[in-house]
Amino acid sequence: MIKYDDKLKIFKLDTINTSYIFGLDDEAGYLCHYYYGKKLESVDVRYLSRLYDGKYLPGVNARDKNGFSDVAPFEFSTGGIGDFRPHALEIIDKNGSIACELFYDSHRIYEGKEALTGLPATFSNKKGDVQTLEITLKDKILKLAVKLSYSVFSDTDAIVRSVKVINEGSDSVNITKIMSLSLDLDNEDFDLLSLHGSWGRERTMEYRDLGHGFTGVSSQRGVSSHQEHPFIALTSKNITQTEGSVYAFNLVYSGSFEAVAHRNQFDLVRVLLGISPYNFKWELKPGDEFIAPEAVMVHSFKGLSAMTTAFHELYRNHLIRSPYLHKKRPVLINNWEGTYFDFDTEKLVNIAKEAAKGGIEMLVMDDGWFGNRFDDNRALGDWKVNEEKLPGGLKELVRRVNDLGLKFGIWMEPEMVNPDSDLYRAHPDWAFEIPGRDPSLSRNQLVLDITRQEVFDYVWNCVESTLKSANIEYLKWDMNRALCDIYSAGLPADRQGEIMHRYVLSVYKLQEKLITTFPEFLLENCSSGGGRFDPGMLYYSPQIWTSDNTDAGARLLIQEGTALIYPLSTMGAHVSVCPNHAMGRNTPFETRGNVALAGTFGYELDTTKFTDEEREMVKEQVKTYHKYNDLVREGDYYRLASLRENGVYDAWMVKSKDDKEILVTFVLANKVCNVKGRKIKLLGLNEAYKYVDEETKVVYGADVLSNAGILISDMWGDYQSKLIHLTKV
């Protein structure tokens, strides 16, 4: 998968369908990029760098090195040496200089893949499935070593990159910017695809023209955020699911990030992805190393669908570690939208009783079970059971729920504190606050400085003692605000720029401790819904709450954007009450269930308020979940139609790996009067096969399903839906 031509000094990385080629482009040892695209047999594509006419190479034309620096397709770009495009690495040395220039020193190619200390990272599952190239570059003036790692997998077209910077000198330097990925390409009339949003409407796909200058997205919030996402892609114009070219990039990180594409005067495009340089400065002392988060690259020349498949395969096979990865998740009922803070033991037990009748398998108790927590203005940080609400504590409640045949789960928000709490009154300095300034509240809460050991220990002890206090089998870990007022009493003034990244590392450390202490536990991450839905969190939890907006109509757009890069099994999705609490919209109970099936599936309501009809529908929905979940969880996902694009209907399908089974979901969102049935063409089929429709018993050739399509009759009313189950004849 990885080859090095010693004579040509060229590295060639081959995935299933793509090649990534770069090498040494001058006697001095500059590392330059040549090609990323459809798989090639050839190795020598050095001419693509445009440097070999001798005009630009410093060894030939030293009088105009700037001309070289301004056009060279550097594999990892640095500042201060004449490259006026954005840089992957920026350093300040002891003299205040920002110059850094990297030259090839050595490399090694090895089987497997090393872990990244303190960071989430992809991994090898079996011998021979991953190969890694590590290249060491050095700045001999700064005595700085930069190790670039590239990993290639046997089962996906993804390439994973990471960067490590090591100070081999006797003086400290400061890193002020470090990107995990730098890639120089020729512009191909690209559009830039990103995922934008806000609370309740996360990860909506958006295209824009890639003009000259900077185009991109970022988060400065300390989390990957609702507003932007650590993902961008360069696509050909009018790309479809099956046609067109796309270069896609995703950061395995849960904090502030920057993802940009810069088009310069020569129509060269540089893509950068990594930690946001906003409020970032990291002191690298002699002998220290800094490890940047991992970044993922995917290239597809067959449209978005092949890109999606590559990401899904990588994350399912090489990132998610949970024992639940290949298991059905228990169908759960969460009481939040059913009761909010107004509950006690009897109310929860009654909800569980009704839930059990419908086949629901777990009760999750949400916010409001601890301290003086009767609303969202107080008591965060005081993780002791409120026995006025729950007489006998968690142990008694869990026993009664277990006696009904249900598992029990719980909600916590360990990273937060309310000013009105015993914890804050005892330790006001444990929260992020700038001395002399009133802190900015969000949801009337502050963020605990878990970068400090004593705060970290307190938070962990609260989590551990809660989970050990009863037979709890699931935790929903929430985080309901962005980071600001950044100041830590645990670091000196000249190192405050390290806090944002140290915070993310502390979150990872807490969650690593959680899943190693409770290895069979089901963890679901959440951040006001989807505010921290990223690959970094998937390393610790197999599922993330996709959005606080549970409206089936809104979820169509949210789940389309999320499934563009993340497997369906990672998306927390529930059936909730109508009118919906976020939208005020009414959608049919059946459609709410069908949309939630494209995720983990559960309920977010008060079961004691069901009508007789709804009780029967829950039983059927739970049966449907058990019938199709293996297919949805393990199968290949294909987007067939987009409500975002057509404004009328949405459709997707999942096909089993062995091609024996297909599930198509169709949702008519906005009824149009007097139209004929719609034809939906299926994707990813072996056209030699035949399939039978379980409901109609009609047999279709796969070639017909792919090229002519399946006919879906018009429906009466908005947000009507249909499942079509096809099995191989």
Catalytic residue annotation = 478, 548
Whose tokens are 């760098």? That residue is 49
Burial label, 493 (beta-carbon count in 10 A; 0-12, 13-18, 19+) = exposed
Q: Hey, is 425 helix, strand or coil? A: helix
- Got the DSSP string for 266-321? TSEEEEEEEE--TT--EEE-TT-EEEPPEEEEEEESBHHHHHHHHHHHHHHHHT--
Of 114, 88, 118, 120, which is closest to residue 101 (Cα–Cα)? 88
Which amino acid is present at 118?
Answer: G
Q: Assign residue 684 a region: left if phi > 0, alpha if psi is -120 to 50, beta otherwise?
A: left
Cβ atoms of 522 and 306 closer than 8 Å: no
Cβ-contact 591, 721 below 8 angstroms: yes
C-alpha atoms less than 13 angstroms from C-alpha of 660 in its C-beta half-sphere: 5
State the DSSP string of 495-543. GGGGHHHHHHHHHHHHHHHHHHHSTT-EEEE-BTTBTT-SHHHHTT-SE
Give the ranges where 657-720 is alpha helix by DSSP (H).
702-707
Nearest to 192 by CA among 245, 240, 232, 241: 232
Structure tokens at 257: 């990030």
Alpha helix (H) ranges present in 358-408? 393-403
- Helices 612-634 and 345-357, interaxial angle, to 10°? 70
Per the omega criterion (within 30 degrees of 0), is the bond before 579 cis?
A: yes
Q: Phi and psi dihedrals of 259, rounded to 5?
A: -135, 110
Question: Running DSSP on this structure, what letter comes out for residue 156?
Answer: -
Hey, is 91 helix, strand or coil?
Answer: strand
Two tokens, residue 643: 């409500």
DSSP summary character for residue 442: B
Token digits for 117?
A: 């200390």
DSSP 441: P
> CA 150 to CA 134: how far, in whole Å?
6
DSSP secondary structure string for all residues of 559-596: HHHHHTTS-GGGEE--EE-SS-TTT-----HHHHHHHH
> What pairing do the DSSP bridges indicate for beta strands 720-728 and 690-693?
antiparallel
Asked whether 233 and 674 are in contact (CB, 8 A), the reply is no
Residue type at 152?
Answer: V
Task: Record the tokens describing residue 8, joined without a space.
Answer: 């040509």
